[in-house]
A and B are shown apart, each in its own frame.
Chain A
Amino acid sequence: GQQVMQIPQYQHVQEGEDFTTYCNSSTTLSNIQWYKQRPGGHPVFLIQLVKSGEVKKQKRLTFQFGEAKKNSSLHITATQTTDVGTYFCAGPRGSQGNLIFGKGTKLSVKP
């Protein structure tokens, strides 16, 4: 069946270093969404990408949707301790279905 895969599963960085997580789908996606879950919290929506090759920025976070609409990335520049958490990508199941979540990338930041 359709799968959404994320790598890496874990990433440990020193504060100030950059961080990137990658999301790959087995099928073409109509859109992709990113969520962040802080330790002990619940996932919170960050952004949705819809267009092929789309790039969106939120302060130090840069989101990209691949040209083939099968992959996406989230890049954080100069990580801070507030960036700690698990980042999930999610894409629709088929053309009409519910969202499928990747397993997430857990980011830890050493001050």
Chain B
Amino acid sequence: DGGITQSPKYLFRKEGQNVTLSCEQNLNHDAMYWYRQDPGQGLRLIYYSQIVNDFQKGDIAEGYSVSREKKESFPLTVTSAQKNPTAFYLCASSLGLQGTIYFGEGSWLTVV
């Protein structure tokens, strides 16, 4: 099936630890995104990438890092510098920056 696969779905992290969320797509999309969603909040853009080996900061990039070594993959690392990392993280992709966005099922990160 074509789509976006995020893993893990649920993740617990101790304070001070880095954690990496995986995102893989087989839609052959050029653009990929990471969004953060908090209860009652909208979708806030963390990072996005238009092409392999290139990515741009979104609205809330501090405390996060990404890489885009392959077209299909766009992992997100939540670093210990992120002060309030507990949230629902959504990976997404689109053919172009203004195209229809397809979302993965999301990853729930809880800091304990």
In the complex, whether A48 has a CB less than 8 A from a CB of chain B is: yes
A106 / chain B contacts, CB cutoff of 8 Å: 40
The stretch of B16-24, B67-75, B76-84, B98-106 in contact with A is B98-106
Chain B contact patch, size range: 10 to 19
Q: How far is the CB of A65 from chain B (nearest CB, A)?
A: 15
In the complex, whether B87 has a CB less than 8 A from a CB of chain A is: no
Q: Is the CB of B97 within 8 A of A98?
A: yes
In the complex, whether A66 has a CB less than 8 A from a CB of chain B is: no
**Residue of A at shortest CB range from B90?**
A42
In the bound complex, what is the Cα–Cα distance between A15 and B41 (angstroms)? 25
In the complex, whether B42 has a CB less than 8 A from a CB of chain A is: yes
Q: Is the CB of A92 within 8 A of B43?
A: no
A97 / chain B contacts, CB cutoff of 8 Å: 97-98
**Residue of B at shortest CB range from A41?**
B105
Q: How far is the CB of A105 from chain B (nearest CB, A)?
A: 10
Q: How far is the CB of A46 from chain B (nearest CB, A)?
A: 10
Q: Is the CB of B106 within 8 A of A31?
A: no
In the complex, whether B45 has a CB less than 8 A from a CB of chain A is: yes
In the complex, whether A88 has a CB less than 8 A from a CB of chain B is: yes
In the bound complex, what is the Cα–Cα distance between A78 and B25 (angstroms)? 37
Q: How far is the CB of A39 from chain B (nearest CB, A)?
A: 12
In the complex, whether A75 has a CB less than 8 A from a CB of chain B is: no
Which of A's residues lie within 8 Å of B, judged by CB?
9, 30-31, 33, 35, 41-45, 48, 88, 90, 92, 96-99, 101-104, 106
* 13 A-B interface contacts by CB (under 8 A): A33-B100, A33-B101, A41-B105, A42-B90, A42-B105, A43-B103, A48-B100, A88-B43, A92-B98, A98-B31, A98-B97, A101-B35, A106-B40
